[in-house]
């Protein structure tokens, strides 16, 4: 009877260790996934800032050219 109890105890310890390792592995995977999502979101935000800056610069240049052309053209009759 004691041999059976020892085997059951060993099996229980092995199952608990397996469960704990599996949980740690899943937690690490989830943390890596969240880190990657955050990295992608940051890259997207930086790209949006760059695009907005370029668009703003382009608009300012177009306004500049339009104003320059408006004041440099001879009046129409």
Q: Is 76 helix (H, G, I), strand (E, B) or coil?
A: coil
pLDDT tens sequence across 4-61: 999 999 999 999 999 999 999 999 999 999 999 999 999 999 999 999 999 999 999 9
Phi, psi of 75 (to 5 degrees): -65, 145
- The CA dihedral of 29, 31, 32, 34, to the nearest 10 degrees, is 120
């Amino acid at each position: 009877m004691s041999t059976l109890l020892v085997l059951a105890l060993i099996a229980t310890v092995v199952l608990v260790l397996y469960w704990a390792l599996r949980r740690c592995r899943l937690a690490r995977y989830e943390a890596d996934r969240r880190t990657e999502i955050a990295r992608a979101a940051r890259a997207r935000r930086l790209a949006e800032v760059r695009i907005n800056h370029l668009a703003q610069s382009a608009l300012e240049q177009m306004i500049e050219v339009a104003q320059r052309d408006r004041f440099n053209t001879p009046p129409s009759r």
